[in-house]
Structure 1
């Protein structure tokens, strides 16, 4: 029988949060309403700079998961998704399965009627959900393009161009920079982050909600976001 060796490491939260501040101090403000908001804590931004933090300096690849998930598939198959990354891709992430970014980018969309920003899949720039993340930390450390995205001046230009103010932590950052640099991302299929939240269905988007939310694939990971109950099957 094959035996898998497991190592468990525990890290203090405050030093990690301090590391995020050191790298992203001038960037975070574009992606949260306030430090006291739900997604305002620095830990909601840690994935963006994980490759730069001393605690992870010897780790080449990393899977980061929300706590409200239930696996139905083999996590080894999720790990093998790294093999599908393009040379430029540094992050694997699934699309947001609600019209969140259709709403967040509404000011930009109203002025740019032909844009695909905020449109549903497969052709729209739908935005991302960071409940399941594949982080190629080695490539994140050495990608000149990705490092440019961490610059406050770059982020300021993008937020102004797309009339964007985030409130959902790291996934807002990824959703924004992907508009101009989709090559940085490998898109996980919906079955690897099957989001169950239906919050936006009755917030003026009932007619288009299914275009974002439908997933026809057998589920590998359920994501009970918005405190949505997860099926037992």
Structure 2
């Protein structure tokens, strides 16, 4: 069964399909501990190991694959994908993943208890000074850097996952982006921040569900839009 139901993986601008069952079998021993913390309240959808593919891509893909751009299907490009691939050239030395911020107050909600106990923390706060978390709809995975990074691989260990989840009282429901968001609160050096224009999320669900007063602080995106992301089934503009 080809991998086309949730994500398309571009390798050097060619589409590569992989067997979902085989990938899931390889992933399960690595991400089993993560599923306990990052699949809460989501039923079967985000509980499947395939939704953690990006977390351990460097361990299951052939070593000759050096870099991968991983994309959700609900995207519309307004720029050439080659320009996105060029963002790899701007990675700082310690960065292993390029990813844009989350553009809704998802993690303001998820981290509410931690923030209550640590009111001066920037965790879950909006940009430019806060830490709003990440959205995994568009990701640049430097597989070589992921393989080399001692820190990143330590963070995949079950005890480290459990320790951070306990510290932040974290119970997520969005698979890999929950993991990246949580470790990014302490290890921002592992991530190269893509501009919001490379993942211009359109979902406004949280605006109508308790966060209307702060929603625009997260949703605002200045600068050119390269990719529209119609998350939560939001229509994408025709322009």
TM over 0.5: yes
Q: Distance in 2 between matches of 1:80 and 1:123?
A: 26
Query: 1:73-152 counterparts in 2 under 5 A?
Result: 73-152=79-158
CA RMSD after TM alignment: 1.5
Native 8 Å contact 2:33 2:161 kept in 1: no
Number of aligned residue pairs: give it.
228
1:35/1:98 CA distance change after superposition, 3 Å: closer
Residue-by-residue CA offset, 1:33-90 (whole Å, 9 max, x unaligned): 278432111111000000000x443200000000000000111111111111110000
Per-residue CA distance 1:154-201 (angstroms, 9 max, x = gap): 111111111111110000000000011000000000000000000000
TM-score by length of 2: 0.92
Counterparts in 2 of 1:49-60, with a 5 A limit? 49-53=56-60, 55-60=61-66
Task: Identify the residue that residue 194 of structure 1 maps to in structure 2.
Answer: 200
193-202 or 25-34, which deviates more: 25-34
Match of 1:33 among 19, 24, 40: 40
Unaligned runs of 5+ in 2: 1-11
Q: Counterparts of 1:164-175 in structure 2 under 5 Å? A: 164-175=170-181
Report the equivalent of 1:232: 238
1:13 to 5, 13, 20: 20
Shift of 1:22: 2.2
Structure 1 residues 34 and 97, CA gap change in structure 2 (3 angstroms): closer
Could you tell me how far 1:6 is from its partner in structure 2?
A: 6.7
CA–CA distance in 2 between the matches of 1:40 and 1:11? 19
Deviations along 1:95-145, one digit per CA (max 9) or x if unpaired, are 000000000001111111111000001111110000000000011011000
Matches within 5 A, 1:62-77: 62-77=68-83
Q: 2:99–2:138: 8 Å Cα contact kept in structure 1?
A: yes
Q: Distance in 1 between matches of 2:26 and 2:230?
A: 29
2:29 corresponds to 1:22? yes
The alpha-carbon distance between structure 1 residues 161 and 70, as it changes in their structure 2 partners (threshold 3 A), is same
Structure 1 distance, partners of 2:162, 2:187, is 16
Native 8 Å contact 2:34 2:179 kept in 1:
no
